[in-house]
Structure 1
Amino acid sequence: MRRLEILKYPDERLKIPSKEVSDFGKFFSEFLESLVFTMRSSPGCVGIAAPQVNVHKRVIVVDTSISKHKENKLSHGLLVLVNPIILQREGEIVIREGCLSVPDYTGNVKRHYWIKVSALDVKGNPVEFETEGFEAVVIQHEIDHLDGKVFLERLVSPKELFKRKVYR
């Protein structure tokens, strides 16, 4: 298991749409371990998508259980979602987002408050669940990466982009 290199915006590779996963073999499982390790070894990180490490496969990892965000009302713990699809969505929330691939900025983005997700687990078994609040926002953010988008493309307005604060 190793820490993977994160692509940084405006790297053009972040715009490449990802392909579905069909092979769940040993190489894939080793990659997933490294992806989880990369997320967990990045301070404050609650999600990562395979394209952020230059692997253009439809895989995201999310774990909001560590977050103290005020909208973090529901957390399923560590989620490794393969070929995720949002089946339903309701409500709206404007929320400040950050990203490992856009390390110097945060911005206010409008997302759906509640979503129903279908995906495959690490062994290729189907899973379906509902979530809301911060976890729903993080899943939507990571799925955007699978489609070649970063949160900068979803800002409420250009005035809603902020230089990230550095705490000493």
Structure 2
Amino acid sequence: MALREIRTFEDDFLRKKSKPVDKVDDRIRQLLKDMAETMYHTPNGGGLAACQIGILRRLVVADMGEGLLKLVNPEIIEEEGEQIVIEGCLSYPGIWGKVKRPSRVVVKALDENGQPITIEAAGAMAKCLCHEIDHLEGVIFTDKVIEYVKVE
């Protein structure tokens, strides 16, 4: 495993749309491991999209305290409710803001072995998955900020 450099602020990669992964192989599994290690090594890391480390593939890792998710080609297929949450981003250190997100989502994806999975998430995990899947579309949380806040 290896720590990867997280791209920050106005890096062009953060605004590009990521391409689907055609085949889940050892290279993809290693990349997901590297992404997880990088996320865990960074303060306040709850999720990371591959574009944040300069790879334009539809890959996400997330852990909001309930265990690590490694997702290939994740897609939100259902959402409901609404919540106003405070978000930050590993690519925008020190910036925090209130964002409106669904309170519940259903995400379909492939796991690290290429098997289809469906994840139902609410609260903080729903926020995290929306945030990371937005990254795959080149959308940054600052695009959706209602109000910037100071977090100590």
TM-score normalised by structure 1 residue count:
0.87
Q: What is the CA-CA distance between 1:130 and the residue it aligns to?
A: 1.0
Aligned match of 1:24: 24
User: What is residue 71 of structure 2 aligned with on the other side?
Assistant: 81
Matched residue SS, 2:142: helix
* CA distance in structure 1 between the aligned counterparts of 2:94 and 2:126, rounded to whole angstroms: 23
Residue 60 (structure 2) pairs with residue 107 (structure 1): no
Structure-2 residue corresponding to 1:37: 37
Deviation at 1:27, TM superposition (A): 1.6
**Gap runs ≥5 in structure 2:** none
What are structure 1's unaligned runs of at least 5 residues?
A: 66-74
CA offsets, 1:73-121, max 9 Å, x none? xx4x211111011111000000100000000210000000001111000
Aligned to 2:9: 9
Match of 1:133 among 110, 119, 123: 123
1:164 Cα deviation from its structure 2 partner: 4.9
Q: Once superposed, which parts of structure 1, at least 4 consecutive aligned residues long, lie more than 6 Å away?
A: none
Deviates more, 1:109-118 or 1:18-27: 18-27
Identity of aligned residues (%): 39
Q: Which residue of 2 aligns with 1:143?
A: 133
Larger Rg: 1
Say which of 120, 133, 143 aligns to 2:110.
120
Q: Distance in 2 between matches of 1:115 and 1:50?
A: 21
1:155 and 2:142 equivalent?
no
